[in-house]
Amino acid sequence: MERITLHYAEAGTGDQLVVLLHGFPEFWYSWRHQLKDLAAAGYTVVAPDMRGYNLSDKPADVSAYEIEELVQDVSDLIEHLGFEKAVVIGHDWGAGVAWAFSQRKPEMLTKLASLQVPPPSIWKKNQTVSQFLASWYMFFFQLPWLPELMLTSSDFRKLAIALKTTTAEKGVFSDEDVALYKKAWSQEGAITGGLNYYRANILKRMFGKGIPPKKIDVPTLFIYGEQDHAVLPQTVANTGDIVSGEYRELRIPESGHWVQNEARETVSATLIEFLSDG
C-alpha cells in the first residue's frame, strides 16, 4: 500500500531512539511530558501523530488502518530518522501497535513498553462479560457516519468530557489542553481516521483466530493505571505470559486510563529506569 507522511514531535539528541505511540482520541501531545523527560535523560525521543490523526496523512480507505500498515509506519519512521533499531513505547492504540511491532519487526526492537493495553492474545484469554460491556464503544464505532456525528457535535463535547472526567483525579487536563485537542480533532478527516483503527482491526482482534503470537524476547515493561474503566484490571492479568525475556510490570493504583498524564512523574521515572538498565 502507498506510504504516507507522518508529522512528529522530536526532542533530544541521544544515541538511542525512543518512539512514543499515542492512542485514541489523542495525538503526539499526549506524550508531551515524556518527550521532555526522556530527552533530558539523554535519548532521542519522537512522538508521531499516528496516521489518521492531527497533521499526519489520513488515507480514506478503512483497510489503510489495518495493523500491518500501522506497524510499517513505525518501521518507516525509525529508518527515516537514521536508526536501525528503537525502543517502542505505546499507550492505548499505540500499545496495540507496539505489541504488533514486537511480533512483526522484532529485529528493529531493542526494548518494548506498553501502557494500559495488553497484547490481543492476553485480552482474548481474559475476556469477561464486564470487559465486553466496557468495550461497547468499539462496536458502536463500527457503524458508518453516526460515530463521527456524535463525536464532532457541539464542538466535540463528548470527547472533551471524556478527557476531563475519566481521570482518577480531576484537573489532569486543563482547558488549554482540551483546546489543543479540539484543534487536532478539527483537522479534516481526523475523527474518521481515529475511528478507522477500530473499523479495520477490532472484529479481527476479538473474534479472529490469527497467528499464535511469538514470545517476546526483548526487555518488556507494562504499566497499568488501575482505575481504568475502559480496560479492566482482569483484562490485563498475566500480561507477562507472552514475554520470554526480562519482564517488568508497574501497577499505579491512583491512576486511570490516561496514565502518562495522570501519573507523569511515576511513568517518566519508571521509563527512564527501564531504558537505562542493561
Q: Report whether pLDDT(62) > 80.
A: yes
Q: For the domain that residue 59 is a member of, what is the CATH number?
A: 3.40.50.1820
Output the pLDDT for position 247: 98
Output the pLDDT for position 65: 97
pLDDT digits (tens, 9 = 90+) for 145-183: 999 999 999 999 999 999 999 999 999 999 999 999 999
Asked if residue 1 is part of any domain, the answer here is no
Asked if residue 245 is part of any domain, the answer here is yes
Domains contained in the chain, number: 1
| CA distances from residue 210 to 63, 104, 213, 214, 233 in whole angstroms, order as listed | 17, 13, 9, 12, 24
Average pLDDT in the chain: 96
Asked if residue 27 is part of any domain, the answer here is yes
pLDDT digits (tens, 9 = 90+) for 193-231: 999 999 999 988 777 777 788 999 999 999 999 999 999
Q: Report whether pLDDT(236) > 90.
A: yes
CA distance 169 to 229: 13
Asked if residue 216 is part of any domain, the answer here is yes
177 flagged as catalytic: no
Output the pLDDT for position 205: 74
Asked if residue 2 is part of any domain, the answer here is no
Are 147 and 25 in contact by the 8 Å Cβ rule? The answer is no
Structural domain harbouring 104:
8-276
Output the pLDDT for position 164: 94
Output the pLDDT for position 3: 82
CA distance 23 to 264: 16
pLDDT digits (tens, 9 = 90+) for 83-120: 999 999 999 999 999 999 999 999 999 999 999 999 99
Q: Report whether pLDDT(1) > 70.
A: no
Residue count of the chain: 278
**Which residues are registered as beta bridge partners of 250?**
223
Asked if residue 23 is part of any domain, the answer here is yes
Mean pLDDT, rounded, for 247-273: 98
Percent of the chain with pLDDT over 90: 94
Output the pLDDT for position 242: 97
Asked if residue 3 is part of any domain, the answer here is no
Catalytic pick among 92, 181, 197, 224? 92
Asked if residue 139 is part of any domain, the answer here is yes
Q: Report whether pLDDT(55) > 70.
A: yes
198 flagged as catalytic: yes
CB atoms within 10 A of CB 173: 21
Whole-structure pTM value? 0.97
257 flagged as catalytic: yes
Going along the chain, which residue ranges are E strands?
A: 8-11, 17-21, 44-48, 86-91, 109-115, 220-225, 247-252
Mean pLDDT, rounded, for 51-74: 97
pLDDT digits (tens, 9 = 90+) for 36-47: 999 999 999 999
